[in-house]
Amino acid sequence: MGGSRTGYHCPDCGCFYAEGNFTIENAGYVLGDPEWKSCCGNLRPTPRLFETLEEARSFLFTLEALGAEEKATLISRRSLITAHFNREVVTEHKRKTLH
């Protein structure tokens, strides 16, 4: 279980296009939405976001009850990080740490 997420931002414009407090994830994957959101003309991989931990647990319970865990959309953490890689932020961070 994840938590305390502010959302996911577009690496091109820096705006948040998906916001929530909790995600469902493990070491390799994040549970995603079947339809990715669009920002700056690009489709962005979007985790399923929940406002409360209870909402996340309820969603998991429903998936298990329907036997539909295999049908859940999974996004690899690596591709998620790559999709939100903001070159300007990383460049600025490197500049600060190298001095």
13: which DSSP letter? T
Predicted confidence (pLDDT) at residue 68 exceeds the cutoff of 80:
no
Beta strand ranges found along 5-99 (DSSP E): 8-9, 16-18, 29-32, 37-39, 42-44, 73-76
The residue among 18, 2, 24, 5 whose CA lies nearest residue 69 is: 24
**Residue 54: predicted pLDDT:** 93
The residue among 30, 14, 10 whose CA lies nearest residue 22 is: 30
Residue 72: inside a domain: yes
Predicted confidence (pLDDT) at residue 16 exceeds the cutoff of 90:
no
Residue 89: inside a domain: yes
Q: Pick the range with the lowest mean pLDDT from 18-32, 38-52, 76-90.
A: 76-90
**Residue 90: predicted pLDDT:** 58
Question: What is the residue range of 41's domain?
Answer: 8-98
**Residue 3: predicted pLDDT:** 47
Residue 43: inside a domain: yes
The tally of domains found in the chain comes to: 1
Residue 3: inside a domain: no
Of the spans 1-5, 30-34, 87-91, which averages the highest pLDDT?
Answer: 30-34
Predicted confidence (pLDDT) at residue 26 exceeds the cutoff of 80:
yes
